[in-house]
Structure 1
């Protein structure tokens, strides 16, 4: 896209690469469950991750087929569930009081918005301070779309000894995390094996999604909300935020972060 550039009193013309943003419908059994504005990439991963974090499925095996259909003004991701899940989703729709505004798809009450998160229990994983820094640095280097546009969020999964095993990008931070969760599930990796790393602030939904994946550690570049901290604490999740280079803050379950061991990097 062509642009006029004004820098230090000098005006010039140039070309700027910008990310695409389109309506993405997520449909089950021919009925649309939600429409999200997002980046039209990795949509099969998006379908799996969204379905899991919205409680529509418990595992990827409960999805029979995913078909991405391009429409004139957007994309329809058509998801076919196994029969008992299709029936359960139809019952869920019948009990919905009406359309929701935005932010939380298919939510009809305050109680559902502040839903209980899975308890992570005893998870034998720790990271050194250097590994936290390495995870953030690796994510910064593994975002080609952000490198071109400086306008998208990234989410990654970091496994000690292996580094980043999956990275996904999207104009929406929730979408990027859902895409990541779908990618991790597709590889057969268990959430308990590593840490989720994100380039955004930490809202309660980000903690909820990471907990549903089963990740014991969530690392973010920006700050958390108070509710996100309380939710991470309830889940038994280690929440690391404001991670910039070697600097970071640990808000919950600091026992999983070994700040005294800075020599080993995965």
Structure 2
């Protein structure tokens, strides 16, 4: 986070103001010496990011498949140097070989329409919530969004249960990154999203539903609207998709049987 003093304009006058803005930096994810992706992200909770990205992108299934992790701070950004155990490393290299070769613009490294939108994991049946839980969970999340309260410029992803309240929350300038950081925090603590509400401060695209399915989240709650593909994917994955949840109202797009009214 950085303190700045912009010129603040109003219809009545101009004056110097004090603001806090979030940092954004390139973060490379390198597996066994090979850079796989570079994301623009907030430089916080980087270990969680490495584990969560690896999980939701299919590089690992269990935390012990990451043999070691080094966070290298460089002049041009941050390199998360991840070393995979033998089986995960072999799967990673095989995947890279299958995705190598010339590609067009769009989803780089994707060779087919089927690969562009892979089938999401099917979540377990169960997990029912009183409708009032939606508002209670969102209020808990808002209270814990420290970086957002200071900058008004970051997204959050959180996990909430009626018994425990807010289990974990992560923030980032990118909505995907925030969810990956939450996924990493849960993975490293030995938890899944089963039996809990997964909360997002963003719109719901298909990738967010796919990541939620990997975590086993029965209910995904977002403050903004979903895309049509996200709704279809949530329906197929068995996820209750709650969207446009704000100011005491929300829309239930799929599997409404989990929300008790």
TM range (shorter): over 0.9
CA RMSD in angstroms comes to: 1.6
For residue 119 of structure 1, give the secondary structure of its aligned residue in structure 2: coil
Unpaired runs of 5+ in structure 1? 260-266
Q: How does 1:176-187 map to 2 (within 5 A)?
A: 176-187=178-189
Kept in 2, the 8 Å contact 1:33–1:106? The answer is: no
TM normalised by structure 2 equals: 0.94
Q: Count how many residue pairs are aligned between Structure 1 and Structure 2.
A: 258
1:114 matched residue in structure 2: 117
2:143 matched residue in structure 1: 141
**For the residues of structure 1 that align with 2:33 and 2:223, how far apart are their CA atoms?**
38
For residue 23 of structure 2, give the secondary structure of its aligned residue in structure 1: coil
> Which shifted more, 158-167 or 211-220?
158-167
Kept in 2, the 8 Å contact 1:157–1:184? The answer is: no
Q: Which runs of 4+ in 1 moved over 2 A?
A: 97-110
For residue 118 of structure 2, give the secondary structure of its aligned residue in structure 1: coil
1:71 matched residue in structure 2: 74
Deviation of 1:97 (Å):
3.3
Matched, 1:33 2:75: no
In 2 relative to 1, CA 175–98 (structure 1 residues): closer, same or farther, beyond 3 Å?
A: farther
**For the residues of structure 1 that align with 2:96 and 2:171, how far apart are their CA atoms?**
30
1:264 matched residue in structure 2: none
Kept in 2, the 8 Å contact 1:57–1:85? The answer is: yes
For residue 202 of structure 1, give the secondary structure of its aligned residue in structure 2: coil
Kept in 2, the 8 Å contact 1:198–1:221? The answer is: yes
Matched, 1:81 2:91: no
Kept in 2, the 8 Å contact 1:136–1:245? The answer is: no
2:191 matched residue in structure 1: 189
For residue 208 of structure 1, give the secondary structure of its aligned residue in structure 2: helix
**For the residues of structure 1 that align with 2:209 and 2:31, how far apart are their CA atoms?**
25
> Which shifted more, 93-102 or 49-58?
93-102
Q: How does 1:1-266 map to 2 (within 5 A)?
A: 1-98=4-101, 107-123=110-126, 125-259=127-261
For residue 35 of structure 1, give the secondary structure of its aligned residue in structure 2: strand
